[in-house]
Structures are given as C-alpha cells and as structure tokens.
C-alpha cells in the first residue's frame, strides 16, 4: 500500500446482508466507500458499519466482520 492507502477486508456477510428489497451488495459497498473518500481507516469501517446497520434495520444477521489496514506516513 502507498502512504495513506487503505485496504478493507470484510466477510461475505456484508454484501449478503438482507435488506427490505435487496442485499447490501458490492455496488452499495462501493457507493459508501466513494462517499467516504480518503480518510482514516477507522472512519471507513464506521461508514460501512453505519450504512450496513441502516440497510439491515431490525433484521438479524450474522457473519459480519470488517477490518481495514492503512499505510501510515513514514
């Protein structure tokens, strides 16, 4: 990773999370990350978690894990 770049890892439960009409999906993940832009890794994870929670509403879902690593300045 170059300085400031982030690599986001997540389990398949994230894109497969059920919503009212559709799963969370890769396109929604991409939209959330594009809207978040370049920021600290923890903010990116938080943005995905908030969007996922809003998508799920009160539906129970398991197998959700999100991990980000970010290259720090030297």
Q: pLDDT digits over 19-44, tens only? A: 989 999 999 999 999 999 888 999 99
The pair phi, psi for residue 17, each rounded to 5°, is: -60, 125
Nearest to 40, CA basis, from 3, 2, 4, 1: 4
- Give the residue ranges of DSSP H helices in the chain: 25-36, 41-56
Task: Please give the pLDDT value at position 4.
Answer: 84
Task: Please give the pLDDT value at position 59.
Answer: 84
> Is residue 74 over pLDDT 90?
no
> Is residue 72 over pLDDT 80?
yes
> Is residue 9 over pLDDT 90?
yes
Task: Please give the pLDDT value at position 39.
Answer: 87
Query: What percentage of residues in the chain have a pLDDT greater than 70?
Result: 99
């Amino acid at each position: 990773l170059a300085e400031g770049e982030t690599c986001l890892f997540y389990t398949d439960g994230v894109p497969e999370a059920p919503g009212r009409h559709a799963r969370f999906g890769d396109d929604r993940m991409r939209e959330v990350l594009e809207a978040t832009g370049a920021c600290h890794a923890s903010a990116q994870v938080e943005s995905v978690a908030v969007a996922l929670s809003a998508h799920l509403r009160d539906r129970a879902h398991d197998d959700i894990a999100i991990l980000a690593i970010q290259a720090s300045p030297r």
